[in-house]
Structure 1
């Protein structure tokens, strides 16, 4: 049987909390912005899942993921 490497999606990391402000905005913790190279003006994609899970991904990373899936499908 082929061994599958676990990803951070399977084992999420906790970075703290964020409070929703009066305009519906949240501040992404500095440690997260540094780790994922999130800069002012970057576009982020927001997903939701079962049980109230919300995930955020840089849009350029989503594009890379979709291109990879498309290449595999060909």
Structure 2
């Protein structure tokens, strides 16, 4: 699937009775998401839900902090 020139994988998930979802295997493999990894879940009524792999956010923070030191 392409959106605004970027490629995305998509799939459907069913929400369990306690709010849990299962991320499709192809997406977990593509994004290297493994059991025990931390994900950040953001959401609002206008734009819906976004899930961010916490490791990638931590790596970005390190890049920004290291760049400010220069």
> Which category describes the TM-score, using the shorter chain as reference length?
0.7 to 0.9
Change (3 A) 1:71 1:49: farther
Please state if 1:47 is matched with 2:56: no
- Other structure's SS at 2:46 match: helix
Equivalent pairs, count: 67
Change (3 A) 1:61 1:41: same
CA distance in 2, matches of 1:9, 1:23: 34
Unaligned runs of 5+ in 2: none
TM-score of the two chains, using structure 2 as the length reference: 0.73
Unaligned runs of 5+ in 1: 1-7
Structure 1 match to 2:15: 20
RMSD between aligned residues: 2.6
Higher strand share: 2
Please state if 1:61 is matched with 2:56: yes
